[in-house]
Structure formats: C-alpha cells, structure tokens
Structure 1
Amino acid sequence: MRNLTLRQFKTVQAIVSHGKIVSAAKVLGLSPPAVTIQLRQVEEEVQLALFDRTSDGMRPTAAGLAFVEAAQAIEERLRLLEDEMDAIKGVRTGSLRLGVVSTAKYFAPRLMAGFMKEHPDIDMRLAVGNRAETIDSLKNHDIDIALMGRPPKEVSVRASVFGDHPLVVIAPPEHPLASARDISKQRIAEEHFLIREPGSGTRISLEIFLSDVPGRIDDLGVEMGSNETIKQAVMAGLGIAFISAHTIAAETEAGRLVILDVVGMPIRRQWFSVMRTDHVISPAMATFNDFLMRKGATYLPLFGKLYPYAEASEAARMQKMGAPGKRPE
C-alpha cells in the first residue's frame, strides 16, 4: 500500500466518476492505455479488483469504493494542509465549502455575506441541493458543512442547532380558509396539497402531522420539484402547501400568499449545522460554526406576524377594552 501515489488515487477517482477508461483518460489528460496501466498497478498493489468490467462500463467493487473513500479523505486532508500553509504565509485563512438544502437558499446568501464581512480572507463556496443531494455531498466529502432541517442518519455527523425553523400551511389570499381561525387537522386534510419529493424534510413533517387522519397520507398530493414551483402553483390557485416559513417572506409581505391558521401550527423545527464526524475540523470550519452559533439565527427571516388576521383581531379587542368609557366584561 505504501507504494501508491497521489496520481493513482486520482486515476481511480476519475474512473469511478466517469465510468469508462476513455472518459477518465480525457479528464486526466492521459491516454487510455496509460490509465489502464495505472489501474493495473493499483490492483496489483492491493491484490484486489477495484472494478467489474461490464458492457456498460467500469463498476466499482467494494474494494474500489473503499479505495475512493480513502482518496477523498486524502484529498480533504491535503486541502486542509494547503489552508494551513496559506495561513502561515499570510495569504488567506482558509476555505470553506458550504452545502445547503434548497429551503435554506432563501437566507444562506445573506448569512454568507455576514460571515465574509467579518472574515474576508476565508474563501467560501456555496452548493444548493435537495436533501438527498446535500447528504450525498457530505458522504462524498464534496462539502465541509451542511445546513439542513434534520441531521442525516445515513452518515455519522456532528450536528449543532443554530435557529428555529417554523413550518406552515399557505394558500392564496382568496382561499375560503384564508380568514378562518383555528382550522382543525381534519378540515385542512380535506384540501388539495402541493408537496415536495419523497424524502424532503417538509414532506416528512407533513406526513407525520397527517398520519392520524385515516388514509390521508396514502394520497398526499401532487409532487413538485421546488419550493418556487409550489409557491407559484399556490398563487395560481392549484392547491395549498405545507412549507417552510423562511421561504415565503416576500410573498406574504406582498399579500400574494397567506398563512392559514391551523391548529397545532406552525410546526417548530430547527436548523442544524452538520459536518462529518471523521472530517478534520479546519480553522475555517471552526470559525464559521462559531459564527453560526452566535449570529446564525439573526439571518433567518423574521415572522412576528405568522397569523396577521388573528393578531389584528387581538389588537382590536385590546383597543376596545382600553378605550375610554369601556370596561372589560
């Protein structure tokens, strides 16, 4: 094993990523025979086949996957070493690859801007994806820290809470339930829902909420691929949706969407900062995580008026009680 080189690790990674010797060779800037020779040398060194040669291309074996996992860890450690060397030279204080689930894209840019203002020498990159894509990025060492609503179970992680995450039901302002108060779970379950793909955090929370309504989660609603599509569909009158309150600040403020007053809502979840337990914590990662713990919640959209109708009614009632000549009954 000690005779393996970094070039050989990169070669195996390229074959896994592209599935074919020819494609890997093109990316590496080598000839296909040169890639084949390097792969043969690696397999002779480890005394195991790293790939099954099939008509569809190169399929990694269990040994191949283990080899790539080691290659990714080495690449990660080398990047950390580069950051440390740059810090010693005074060039910059590191780099950070941040991954966020799609719901977090509504506040992540402002959060990044706040952090980079305090730490301009840290180079940051942002990757946005759905929950499954973000977890895959963690698994593959493609990101250092992920921001998500629920820590994954598929990979061992450290998770820290940095803010509240309210989930609400939204409708167009002309919806019959828009001005209703204390809508029951049974009543809201009768509505036509627009939902995210299986495995998304909001969908799982909706399934839990409606699980005690007989037969309701068997036909949950119409799937749509993004929060933006769902919001547009709700505004067009195609149904209602269960969604993160942090995605609808602009639409509710403009009066294009309303939050329905459903009993038991908003459902309060939390935002987590997540990193792999086997990931060496770089100075940049530690600095960003400390920033999140201190200031992360201040960059989340504020929802002091989750239910404006109810608050207006309460304000009117209090004003009436306090008006001259009026006595509370």
Structure 2
Amino acid sequence: MNYTLNQLRIFLKVVQTESVTKAAEELFLTQPAVSIQLKNFQDQFDIALTEVVGRKIYITDFGREIAEAAENIINQVHAINYKTLAYKGQLTGKLKISVVSTGKYLMPYFLSEFMSENKGVELLMDVTNKSRVIESLENNAVDFALVSILPPTPNVEKIDLLQNKLYLVGSSKINFEQGSSTKEILESIPIIFREKGSGTRQTMEKFFTDNKISVLKRLELTSNEAVKHALIAGLGFSIMPLIGIKNELHNKELQIIPLKEFPIKTTWSLIWLKGKNQTLVSAAYLEFLNRERANIVQSKFIWSEQY
C-alpha cells in the first residue's frame, strides 16, 4: 500500500464531517481535490470505505476502523513533530479557544503573529454561539473563550481586547427617512434577529427592553452571514457589530442608520476559568496578548475609529 499522510488526513476529515463538501471547506481544499484523493485512498483497499446513497456519503464499518487507525497515525506524527520542536527548545502543544460566531472577524488577528512565532503550537478554534462557548468554558474543554458579553458567573478572569460597537444597519439601497424618534423608527421597521443563544441577540433584546421598544415584525436567522445577506436583499434592518460588516460598508452594500442612541458598546474579552492551571502554551499566549494587544488594535482595527 502506498497511501500518504495527506490522504489519511483527508479521509479522516470526510469521516468526521460525513461530507466531501464540508471536508473540503475545513481543509481549505477544492471539492474535486478531496474527491480525487478520497478515490486514490479507496483504490488501495479491496473493501469499501464509503457508500454513496443519493447525494449522501455513508461510512462503512470497515471505513470507520480505518479512520480510527488514521487518527492514531496522525496523532503519532504530531507527537513526533512536537518532540522534535521541543528538543530544539521551541514551544509545543495545543491552544484551544472557543469563539462566539461574530468573533471570527476578530480573533484571527490576535492569533496570527503568535502562531507564526511558535510553529510547534497547534490551534484548535471552535466558532459557535455564545451558549455553547460558555458551556465549553465551564466544562474546562478549552483554554479560553472569546465573548462580547461576560457570563454571569464570577468564576472567570479576562483580558479585554477591543471595544465592540453595534449599529442599526440596513441595505444601502433603502432611502431612510430621518425625523422620527428612535423608538418610532424601530417599532415601524422589520427587525432581523440572530438565533437564541447569540450574544448579539442578547444585546439587541436588552436595548429594546431598556428603551421600552416593541418590535412588531421580526425575522430570525441563525448566522451573521445569513443576516448580512438578508439585509443586503432589503428584508429588513438589524443591530450588528461593526467588525462583522467592514467589507459590506466599504462596498456600499450596507449602510449605518444614524440614530443618536447608537452605537451600543460592549467589549470583546478573552476569558478563562478563575484559578485554571495554564499550560505552557496558554500561559505564553496570555503573555503575548498583554505585550502585543495594543499594537494589534492599532494596526488592524484603526479603521473602526471612523465610525
């Protein structure tokens, strides 16, 4: 047999996602490239690894056994790499972070230089909604969590990264008439909400409650990208974090509706369990953030100051 580590990684990802398309997305490959490598891997076995019924791929019992072996091999290769780098005196290990969905526009900029400086560090970053982020943190499944609203529990410590500014946003093709009060405006237009468990939704609902605003017509969508596309299409308005709409504002697809009560301001914070024993990697990352966060904000997010 002549299979490669690359084929093992691709097959394992297909098994984990149960989809060639999703595997390609997570591996940053094209779908045809994944399909070709999957076929080349399968051709080395006389027993089927997968079955395609309709448009869905199913993993056979034999395929799952091969996937388990593949995962063990890949883990051993990682261990060899870690040992080699550690022997050379380099930092090695995993950095596990859970990030609220809008935080994906922010967190990579606070990771890029650290990862570049430490080739032996493996990053595991889960992007999900706030409820699951907090659950991961409370279960001690991650080193850090990125949130824009601190959880009610006092058992966390934090480092603030960036101010989070949220504005009322709509399609740039809509001619928005001024003159009415914010309450009258928000009670007369369709409002698009994120799903329950989203930090942005929590901020929106608190704003509406504090200002005694009754939203008469609402839509609910389950991702920031879905909300943006709905706004661009003219389906309504939403309150959105500025960092998530930079390109759409630049391309004049969306506009910020100028109301005196906005922006709503929160803070993007990286949090961790109080008293947690930091690993060498997580401790090094905290040291990096304390040293470099101001420079990162200045170099990567200065554009937000114009709003």
Shared fold, TM over 0.5: yes
CA distance in 2, matches of 1:286, 1:257: 40
The alignment partner of 1:216 has SS state of coil
Letter in structure 1 aligned against 2:158: A
Q: Which has the larger radius of gyration?
A: 1
Question: For the Cα contact (< 8 Å) 2:129–2:197, is it kept in 1?
Answer: no
Distance (Å, rounded) in 1 between the aligned partners of 2:217 and 2:276: 38
2:262 to 243, 261, 265: 265
Matches for 1:1-329 after TM superposition, within 5 Å: 87=86, 90=89, 92-154=91-153, 156-177=155-176, 180=178, 184-214=182-212, 216=214, 221-293=218-290, 294-295=292-293, 296-298=296-298, 299-300=300-301, 302-306=303-307
Q: Which amino acid aligns with 2:110?
A: L
SS in 1 for 2:303: coil
- Provide the C-alpha distance between the structure 2 equivalents of 1:85 and 1:155, rounded to a whole number of angstroms: 40
- Number of matched pairs: 227
Q: Any unmatched runs of 5+ in structure 2?
A: 1-63, 66-81
Could you say if the C-alpha distance between residues 301 and 146 of structure 1 is closer, same or farther in structure 2, counting changes exceeding 3 Å? Answer: farther
Distance (Å, rounded) in 2 between the aligned partners of 1:85 and 1:220: 59
Question: Alpha-carbon deviations, 1:156-214, whole Å to 9, x = none?
Answer: 2112212111011110012232x748963432332110011223221122122222554
Cα distance in 2 between the residues matched to 1:87 and 1:270? 36
**How many Å apart are 1:290 and its aligned residue?**
2.9
Query: What displacement does 1:239 show?
Result: 0.2
Deviation at 1:112, TM superposition (A): 2.0
Structure 1's unaligned 5+ residue stretches are 1-25, 28-82, 307-329
SS in 1 for 2:200: helix
Aligned partner of 2:163: which letter? D
TM-score by length of 2: 0.65
Quick one: structure 1 residues 221 and 109, their matched pair in 2 at CA, closer, same or farther if it must change by over 3 Å?
A: same
- The answer (yes or no) to whether the contact 2:96–2:143 under 8 Å persists in 1 is yes
Q: Distance in 2 between matches of 1:112 and 1:250?
A: 21
Normalising to structure 1: TM-score of the pair? 0.61
**Structure 2 contact 162–267 (Cα < 8 Å) conserved:** yes
Give the equivalent residue in structure 1 for 2:26.
Answer: none
* Distance of 2:266 and 2:243 partners within structure 1: 12
- Using the TM superposition, give the Cα deviation of residue 222 of structure 1 relative to its aligned residue in structure 2, in angstroms: 1.2
* Cross-structure match for 2:34: none
- Alignment partners' CA distance in 2, 1:92 and 1:180: 56
Q: For 1:16-63, what per-residue CA distance to the aligned partner results, in whole angstroms no more than 9, with x for missing partners?
A: xxxxxxxxxx99xxxxxxxxxxxxxxxxxxxxxxxxxxxxxxxxxxxx
Distance 1:95 1:175, change over 3 A: same
- Matched residue, 1:54: none
RMSD across aligned positions (CA): 3.1
SS in 1 for 2:305: coil
* 1:88–1:281 distance in 2 versus 1, CA, 3 Å: farther
Q: Is the 8 A contact 2:95 2:122 kept in 1?
A: yes
Write the letter of the residue equivalent to 2:189: E
SS, match of residue 153 in structure 1 = coil
What is aligned with 1:34? none
**Stretch deviating more after TM superposition (162-171 or 193-202):** 193-202
CA distance in 2, matches of 1:231, 1:301: 23
Alpha carbons of structure 1 residues 127 and 155: separation in structure 2 relative to 1, 3 Å: farther
SS in 2 for 1:100: strand
SS of the residue corresponding to residue 174 of structure 1 reads: coil
Structure 2: distance between partners of 1:183 and 1:208: 18
CA distance in 2, matches of 1:230, 1:124: 28
